[in-house]
Amino acid sequence: FSHLNIMIFIFAAGIKPVSHVIGLANDRALRLHEEIHYPNCEMEILRNRTVHLENELHQLRAAMVTKSEVIELKQGMQPALLELTQWFQKFELREQILKKRQETKLNELEVRLDKIE
């Protein structure tokens, strides 16, 4: 009879710690379940930021000009730039000619004025 009482006492004494361990395991399982299925705010912020940065990178890549495109554009504009350069050179030459003419006319006028005086 005493052996049975000891077994019942040991069994009853072990129920409380085992139930506590089971409760802790349930709480941890619930916490892990919530973290997996309902991500916290910081994770959501980082996810949104990643999406935003990926979109911005995509836009920058779409707007980026490649080296071959720059060379092609330069070759396309080369004749127009040469024509503009020639036009400016002609304009400068005409300006120099007009300036010399005006200087000679002014010198002639000064000579005439000196003769009159």
pTM of the model: 0.38
The tens digit of pLDDT for each residue in 96-108 reads: 999 999 999 999 9
Note the pLDDT tens digit of each residue in 41-94: 777 888 899 999 999 999 988 888 787 888 888 888 999 999 999 999 999 999
Extract the tokens encoding 9: 């006492």
Alpha helices of 38-66 — where are they, by DSSP H? Answer: 41-63
Read off the pLDDT band of 1 (50, 70, 90). low
Say which residues have a Cβ less than 8 Å from residue 39's Cβ, sequence separation at least 6: 47
> Using one digit for the tens of pLDDT, what is the confidence trace for 49-63?
999 999 999 998 888
Rounded to whole angstroms, the Cα distance separating 65 from 75 reads 15
For 48, the token pair is 């949104």
